[in-house]
Amino acid sequence: MTDEEEPRLYGNRWGDTSDPAPGRSGSYRVDMCSCFDQTRPHPRARVGFHTERQDTSAPGWRHLLELVEQAADDGREEFRPLIELSPEERRQVITLPASIARLTAVKHLVLYGSNLVRIPPEIGAMTSLEEFTPYTSYRLHWFPYEISRCRKLTRSTVSTRALFGNYKLRPPFPRLQPSADSVADLDLGSLDPRRWGATAMHRCSVCDRAIEQGGLHQVWISLRVATDILPLLVNACSPVCVAALPIGARDYIPSPHKGGQVDQPASGWD
C-alpha cells in the first residue's frame, strides 16, 4: 500500500453476521487492500506496511473511544464495537485506541469485517480475553507480539490468507529497519508507519521495559496464537530480548527475522 494509491472500495454484503439485528448488518464499504494477492500464490519481491494514520478527529474514532469507555465501565465480557458504528464510521477506524488496555473483563473481542490495518500492543493488557474474531478484516496482515500475553486466549477466527507469510500463499514480510542500540534521535511518539509499522511505540514487546531506556530491535516471528498461526511484530529493547523469543511455529521460519527476501518453507497450496 502506498500513499500514491487511490483507496478502492468493496462491499461487505454480510457486515457483522454474528449480529443479525435489522439495521446493524447488511452492506457497508471498506477500503480495498492490494498489498498482495490473497487468492493465489504469487509472492512479490517486496511488500510494505499500510501507511495510513488514524484520523483522531473523525466521528468514527470519537464514537469508538466512547464505546471503549462504556465497555470498561460496565465490565462487559463481550465487546462488539463495530456494530455500534455507522457504515461510514466503521470505515474511518483503522486501528484501536490504546484505551483497550482497560478492557480487562472482556472475554470475546469481535472485529468482524473491519477496516483495520493494525492492532495496538495494548491488546496484551486484555488479560481475560478468550476469543478473538477479526474475521474478514482483510487489511490486517500482522499482529503485535503483545497479543501473546493474553494467556487465556484459546479461540480465534482470522482471515489467514491476508497474513504475511501465511501457509497457503507465503507472501513476503515487510523489510524491517536496521536495529539500533539507541533511540535518542527517534521520536517514539510520532513514527512513520511506512517505516516502523506503527505511529508510536513505547515499551519492549518482550520485557515491557521502556524502549527509550534501551534500543530498538524489530523482528518478525510467526507463532500459534489461539487457533491460528499469526505473524507477530516484536519491538524489542535489546538483542537479549530478541534471543528470549520462542522458536517459530512448525512449517514457518523458525527464528526471528527482519523480513524482506527471506527463505520461507514451501507454500501449502493444493
Structural domain range at position 239: 9-37+46-243
Q: How far apart are CA 70 and CA 11, in angstroms?
A: 29
| Domain assignment present for 185 | yes
Q: How far apart are CA 216 and CA 79, in angstroms?
A: 33
Contact 84, 16 (CB under 8 A): no
| Domain assignment present for 267 | no
What is the count of structural domains for the chain? 1
| Domain assignment present for 171 | yes
Instruction: Give the pLDDT confidence score for residue 111 in this predicted structure.
Output: 98
Neighbours of 125 (CB within 10 A): 18
Instruction: Give the pLDDT confidence score for residue 107 in this predicted structure.
Output: 98
What is the separation of C-alpha 41 from the centre of its chain, rounded to a whole number of angstroms? 22
| Domain assignment present for 251 | no
Neighbours of 178 (CB within 10 A): 9
Instruction: Give the pLDDT confidence score for residue 69 in this predicted structure.
Output: 98
Instruction: Give the pLDDT confidence score for residue 14 in this predicted structure.
Output: 37
Q: How far apart are CA 43 and CA 46, in angstroms?
A: 8
| Domain assignment present for 253 | no
| Domain assignment present for 237 | yes
Length of the chain: 270
pTM: 0.89
The residues of the chain scoring below 70 in pLDDT are 1-29, 43-45, 269-270
Instruction: Give the pLDDT confidence score for residue 43 in this predicted structure.
Output: 63
Instruction: Give the pLDDT confidence score for residue 28 in this predicted structure.
Output: 54
| Domain assignment present for 268 | no
| Domain assignment present for 255 | no
